[in-house]
């Protein structure tokens, strides 16, 4: 069954032929594979539950992130809703309050959003620190510094 034994008529040296027949093994593995393919989708079925309906107005509208940029010349840029505007450091608190009121109006949330700060690599650290300090004074405690991924 599992090995062929040659008789002495076929070969004069009397050695035993001991090769394993892998055909039954392949057949069993293919049957198991077919069973797995058929039953896998059935195993992923979920418990039938009637989910509640959600009103999209309750969830709020998606709001673009607030991005504050500082270039090498020290110019400030505020990117909001795909618009970019420039301003000075003195105007930063007023601009942030305006941005928060617009954010609150569009999203319906009272908490301050995350502000992403982008600064030129060669920009003064003091200016970046000043931006973060003014953000905290205005109530924007959730600040994320942006960088480029290494290549």
**How far apart are the C-alpha atoms of 120 and 107, rounded to whole Å?**
30
15 φ/ψ angles, rounded to the nearest 5 degrees: -80, 155
Q: Describe the chain by its helix, strand, coil percentages, rounded to 5.
A: 40, 15, 45
Question: In the block, which residue shows the tokens 């004069």?
Answer: 12
Dist. CA 116–CA 143, nearest whole Å: 6
Count CA atoms within 13 Å of residue 19 on its CB side: 6
pLDDT higher than 60, residue 17: yes
* Residue 25 scores a pLDDT above 90: yes
- Domain definitions of the chain by residue range: 1-45, 56-145
Of the spans 20-24, 123-127, 146-150, which averages the highest pLDDT?
20-24
Mean pLDDT in residue range 71-90: 78
Fold classification of 56-145 is: Nucleotidyltransferase; domain 5 (3.30.420)
- pTM equals 0.52
Cα–Cα separations (whole angstroms), residue 64 to 17, 110, 114, 115: 75, 16, 10, 11
Question: Quick check: 17 and 5 in contact, CB under 8 A?
Answer: yes
Residue, of 98 and 83, whose pLDDT is higher: 98
């Amino acid at each position: 069954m599992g090995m062929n034994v040659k008789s002495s008529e076929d070969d004069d040296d009397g050695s035993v032929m001991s090769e394993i027949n892998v055909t039954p093994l392949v057949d069993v593995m293919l049957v198991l594979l077919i069973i797995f393919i058929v039953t896998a989708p059935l195993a992923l079925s979920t418990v039938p539950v009637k989910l509640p309906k959600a009103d999209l107005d309750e969830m709020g509208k998606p709001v673009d992130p607030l991005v504050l940029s500082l270039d090498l010349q020290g110019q400030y840029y505020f990117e909001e809703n795909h618009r970019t505007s420039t301003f000075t450091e003195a105007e930063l608190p007023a601009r942030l309050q305006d941005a928060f009121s617009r954010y609150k109006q569009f999203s319906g949330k009272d908490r301050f959003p995350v502000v992403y700060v982008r600064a030129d690599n060669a920009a003064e650290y003091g200016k970046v620190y000043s931006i973060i300090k003014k953000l905290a004074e205005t109530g924007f405690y959730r600040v994320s510094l942006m960088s480029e991924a290494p290549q």
